[in-house]
Structure 1
Amino acid sequence: MRQSRWTPSIVPNVSDQNVYFVLDCFERSGCAWREPDIGQTDLETVIHDLMSGQYNDPQRVVPFNTFEHWADDVSEDVAREIRRRADAAHQDLSSSIEDFVVRHAGRERQLNLRLA
């Protein structure tokens, strides 16, 4: 009888935690799922990294949960949140993140009304 070899999992050992990956594209090298540091796989860190220009040309944001066995594309939700935060802070976005936001959330912007 042939014995199967054990192969370690590449999936982080986190219980009931969403792990977020960003599909990032590079001019000549193509696209890759960027591997975040193990302690920085949460949504807040991904949004901060996107807004601060840590990605070259982000295409998608996909979380997965190994405990619950699911993955989803949350690019539109992330794009809307980035737009909301930038608008609230009266902050301009870099061209790469602006492209991501327009691609997933459209060109519409929320205008802040100042009440006297």
Structure 2
Amino acid sequence: MERLTLFSRGLFDRLEAGSVLKGTLASGVLMAHSPSIVPQSAANHDVYIVLEDFGGRLGRAWCETAEEDGNRATLLRHLIEGHYIRPARIVAFNTTEGWSRDVTADIADELRRRFVEFEDVAPSMLEFLERAATNKSVKRS
């Protein structure tokens, strides 16, 4: 059985004896842990996630979001700052209340209303607003 070398021998030797990481590496097992997108706290709050369009062969994927960053205010700030290259859809959900819905148009409308507050916005946000407006008018037809 072939082992994948993740660390140099020098780094491995410098790890504290008896450490969990050294024991894991010594046994040849190192598994990555993916956090759940469902909030761990029992607090009743809405969570927002973004479907990013990476284009071409890469397609679309739901962006990883830290639990503390899944709120509306952080989402709006991230959109303004350009954290998302091409957001295609935004979904909000609340596991305590048992609902989820597409809030793309709501978020775009809020950004448009607050647009006068922003001095410098990311080009990706402007493209998002344009796409959301186009999609909204198509749905009304």
Higher mean C-alpha deviation, range 46-55 or range 18-27: 18-27
Identity %: 38
Paired residues in the alignment total 97
- Corresponding residue for 1:111? none
User: Could you say which residue in structure 2 is the equivalent of 1:84?
Assistant: 113
TM-score normalised by L of structure 2: 0.62
- Greater relative CO (CA pairs within 8 A, separation 6+): 1
1:40 and 2:40 aligned: no
Structure number with higher strand proportion = 1
Residue 121 of structure 2 corresponds to 93
The corresponding residue for 1:26 is 54
Moved over 3 A (4+): none
TM-score between both structures, scaled by the size of structure 1: 0.74
Higher helix share: 2
Instruction: Structure 2: state its 5+ residue gaps.
Output: 1-34, 135-141
1:86–1:92 Cα contact (<8 Å) kept:
no
Deviation, 1:94, is 2.7
Per-residue CA shift, 1:61-111, capped at 9, x if unaligned? 11111111100111111111112222233x3533321121112235xxxxx
For structure 1, list consecutive stretches of 5 or more residues without a partner in the other structure.
1-8, 107-116
